[in-house]
Amino acid sequence: MKRITIILILLITLSLQAQESKIIGIWQLKTVVEDGNTMNDFKTVFIFSEKGVLNAARSSTSESMEVGTWNYNKKEKSILMTSDLDRDFNGEARLIKINKKVLVYEKAGATLTFSKLDKLDLPPKIKHLTTTKPMLNFTYDDLLDEEGGFYYEDEIAKLPWDLADAIDFLKNYKDIIYTATNFKGDLEPDSFLVSSRIVYNEEEQTIDVREYSFFQMDYIEMFDDPISINEIENRKDYYYFFPKEKLDPFKILGTEIIETTLGSFECTIVEGISTFDNKVKYWMINDKPGVFAKIIIVKDEDPPFGYSNIYALKEIK
């Protein structure tokens, strides 16, 4: 009896491993069927790697990045994905079909069909010129006064607008989009998350930050609920409305005319150090409270911890 039990366990284990081995690989999304509608022309790639690592890429010609974990549930015949990056990489996907060429599963009421790729077709790595990647070379000491101190009140008084101004002005805007260029180390920029969208809901009296999903090809709500206009004062760190309250010492450097897709704007330049010693530089549009022409964030660390992000105001098409 014991021998039979061991054999059964072994067979179950081998069966599970066989199904997992079919899932492991590079899968490019082809179609999504939802509510009777079929959507095509997707480029997103899911990579179910060994040891439960889930990677993804914008397309078969893009660098992949780790987005979460996965495991196969034999009893439910489903793939369980876990991710904090994008809800499309998070949740249970019920397996419908899988073979050497095709993967089909149902998730959140939609049926997704993938085709298997042998490999990603990546272009050669290109190193950026030092002038391409922004370099914010100031130090903490540069932001202090002659006596080695810093007085928030003195610098805040020089800002073109405050949070109250931003809230009042943004009520006239339905949304604002910032595109983000992400630099990691010296390699060509390739970021899954490329932009953020600030959405004002007049009926609900809320403001919401949404992030772009390459999977859904749209700006989607992530895990935080929209914030009530009345609660924004308590959630200042959630928005790029002005130098954040948690920002460490910062200085007002003066004004500059900045060109954007929406036109030329006179901006107040703010330079400072924020959470985790990120260096931050803002171009605050003087006559548009809460709107920035550009934001640069730089983390001066060796890869993979060092990076630079450039957020630029973008015209809404």
Of residues 125 and 70, which shows the higher confidence score? Answer: 70
Q: Tell me what pLDDT residue 265 has.
A: 93
pLDDT tens for each residue of 262-272: 889 999 999 99
Q: List the single range of 8-17, 97-106, 239-248 with lowest mean pLDDT.
A: 8-17
pLDDT of residue 182: 67
Question: CA-CA distances (angstroms) from residue 54 to 45, 47, 75, 91, 304?
Answer: 11, 6, 21, 13, 18
Residue type for position 46 = F
Max mean pLDDT range (88-102, 175-189, 199-213): 88-102
For residues 79-102, average pLDDT: 90
Report the distance separating Cα 77 and Cα 170, nearest Å: 48
| pLDDT category of residue 134 using cuts at 50, 70 and 90 | confident
The pLDDT mean for the chain works out to 80
* Confidence at residue 18, expressed as pLDDT on a 0 to 100 scale: 55
Model confidence at 13, pLDDT cuts 50, 70, 90, reads very low
Nearest alpha carbon to residue 112 among 129, 96, 126: 96
Kindly tell me if the per-residue pLDDT of 57 is higher than 70: yes
Most confident of 62-71, 121-130, 173-182, 243-252: 62-71
For residue 3, report the phi and psi dihedrals to the nearest 5 degrees: -65, -40
Please tell me the predicted confidence (pLDDT) of residue 106: 95
Lowest-pLDDT range of 93-102, 170-179, 187-196, 223-232: 187-196
The amino acid sitting at 94 is: R
What is the C-alpha to C-alpha distance for residues 8 and 72, in angstroms, rounded to an integer? 19
- Locate the domains of the chain by residue range: 24-117, 140-314
pLDDT value at position 237? Answer: 58
Quick one: CATH architecture of 24-117? Beta Barrel (2.40)
DSSP per position, the chain: -HHHHHHHHHHHHHHHHHHHHHH-EEEEEEEEEETTEEE-----EEEE-GGGEEEEESSTTS--EEEEEEEEETTTTEEEEE-SS-GGGSEEEEEEEE-SSEEEEEETTEEEEEEEESS--PPPP-PPPTTTS------GGGGS-TTS---HHHHHTTSS--HHHHHHHHTT-SEEEEEEEEEETTSPP--S--EEEEEEETTTTEEEEEEEETTTTEEE--SSPPEEGGGGGGGGGGS-SSS-TT--SEEEEEEEEEEETTEEEEEEEEEEE-GGG-EEEEEEETTSTT-EEEEEEEE-SSTTT-EEEEEEEE---
> Would you place residue 281 in the very low, low, confident or very high pLDDT band (cuts 50, 70, 90)?
very high
Q: What integer pLDDT is reported at residue 107 of this predicted model?
A: 93
pLDDT score for 249: 86
Percent of the chain with pLDDT over 70: 78
* pLDDT above 90: percentage of residues in the chain: 26
Q: How confident is the model at residue 176 (pLDDT cuts 50, 70, 90)?
A: confident
**281 and 293 Cβ atoms separated by less than 8 Å:** no
Q: Which CATH number fits domain 140-314: 1.10.3470, 2.30.30, 1.10.10, 2.50.20?
A: 2.50.20
pLDDT in tens, 24-42: 999 999 999 998 899 998 8
216-263 confidence digits (pLDDT tens): 777 777 656 777 877 776 665 555 556 655 667 889 999 999 998 888
pLDDT of residue 132: 63
